[in-house]
């Protein structure tokens, strides 16, 4: 199950209390103060773990508490500090204070650490209050409380390129052809119900990550279909690859489909339209009317966008698209190991 937003409560450990104790020795008034300090409470630490790709582990375990500090003891023995706890989160997680809405931290690199709640300081024992004029103090301090917060964790997947388009536009099939990802593929709308990531490897051993975003439909920003719940996952991408189904089976105009998705992206965030974009005509192997492809190609040319034609079933155009994506992400050097006239996009 893919969970990309959860609310949790974290509580750092309270500090231990200081101790009131006296040494029992001859010639020392009342033995002298010997109460030790309390230990510090444990912290709550969030760690970006690359082995996690969902927030599911918080779904049924929303409360997390660190150990409190132990109390001070006699003979000036300090209480043991409470154990801190580390909570793993996926890379790409944004941490918000649920009460104020403040962004506390954004995890963008593996193994980053953030202390989200600090443990309370231990209280002082009576030995700390001894002075030349006050030799038998009975004062001590209680431990200080640890921080307690209610957090909202929001996951935005980190990917270099994002695949967008109508349901059944061929996004899942494409990502299965260019990477080792194996999403569910079927011939009914909304087969993909959660984003998938695939790592694409080039001949020169460089890699980039592609995200398959569940299909959008007209009115998605109003909650139709799957809504715009998953669009946050392409906000961090550097390249958008817009797949348009040009087969006759849809009964829709490919140019209209393309404009519908652009409007949905704009309704979510104008920043998405400023990202580099490739327009891809998919399922050309079952297209009976070439005019549908030409119309989309001409529309892409008018918008100044690169245009590609592919069939994920036969493999036609897959390599050209793969290296065109790499060229936009890494520069022209990405295509040196794969130079072919077919690499050039239609303009």
Domain ranges of the chain: 1-155, 161-343
Question: Counting Cβ atoms within 10 Å, is residue 281 exposed (0-12), middle (13-18) or buried (19+)?
Answer: buried
| pLDDT given at position 186 | 45
| pLDDT given at position 347 | 38
Return mean pLDDT, the chain. Answer: 85
Please tell me the class of the 161-343 domain.
alpha beta
| pLDDT given at position 220 | 53
Whether CATH 2.70.210.12 fits 1-155: yes
| pLDDT given at position 280 | 94
Q: What's the CA gap between 318 and 306, in Å, rounded?
A: 15
| pLDDT given at position 198 | 84
Taking 70 as the pLDDT cut, the residues of the chain under it are 1-2, 28-30, 181-194, 215, 217-229, 332-347
Q: What's the CA gap between 25 and 198, in Å, rounded?
A: 72
> Which residues 6+ apart lie within 8 Å of 303 measured at CB?
279
| pLDDT given at position 223 | 56
161-164/113-117 β-pairing: unpaired
Write the CA distances from 55 to 65, 162, 223, 280, 315, integer angstroms.
18, 21, 23, 32, 35
| pLDDT given at position 79 | 96
Q: What is the pTM of this model?
A: 0.74
């Amino acid at each position: 199950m893919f969970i990309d937003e959860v609310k949790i409560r974290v509580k750092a450990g309270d500090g231990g209390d200081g101790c009131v104790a006296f040494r029992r020795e001859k010639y020392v008034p009342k033995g002298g103060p010997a109460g030790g300090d309390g230990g510090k409470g444990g912290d709550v630490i969030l760690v970006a773990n690359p082995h996690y790709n969902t927030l599911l582990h918080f779904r049924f375990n929303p409360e997390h508490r660190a150990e409190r500090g132990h109390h001070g003891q006699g003979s000036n023995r300090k209480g043991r500090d409470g154990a801190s706890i580390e909570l793993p989160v996926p890379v790409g997680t944004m941490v918000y204070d649920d009460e104020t809405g403040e962004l506390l931290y954004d995890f963008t690199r593996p193994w980053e650490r953030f202390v989200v709640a600090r443990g309370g300081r231990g209280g002082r024992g009576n030995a700390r209050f001894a002075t030349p004029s006050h030799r038998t103090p009975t004062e001590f301090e209680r431990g200080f409380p640890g921080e307690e917060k209610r957090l909202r964790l929001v996951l935005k997947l980190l990917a270099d390129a994002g695949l967008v388009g109508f349901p059944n536009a061929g996004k899942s099939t494409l990502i299965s052809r260019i990477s080792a990802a194996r999403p569910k593929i079927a011939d009914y709308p909304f087969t993909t119900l959660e984003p998938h990531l695939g790592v694409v490897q080039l001949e020169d051993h460089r890699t980039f990550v592609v995200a398959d975003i569940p299909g959008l439909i007209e009115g998605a920003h109003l909650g139709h279909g799957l809504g715009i719940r998953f669009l946050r996952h392409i906000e961090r991408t550097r390249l958008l690859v817009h797949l348009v189904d040009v087969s006759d089976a849809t009964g829709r105009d490919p140019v209209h489909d393309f404009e519908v998705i652009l409007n949905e992206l704009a309704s979510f965030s104008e920043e998405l339209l400023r990202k580099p974009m490739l327009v891809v005509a998919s399922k050309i192997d079952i297209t009976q009317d070439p005019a549908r492809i030409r119309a989309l190609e001409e529309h892409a040319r008018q918008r100044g966008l690169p245009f590609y034609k592919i069939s994920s079933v036969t493999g036609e155009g897959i390599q050209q698209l793969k290296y065109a994506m790499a060229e936009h992400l890494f520069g022209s050097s990405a295509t040196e190991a794969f130079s072919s006239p077919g690499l050039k996009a239609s303009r």
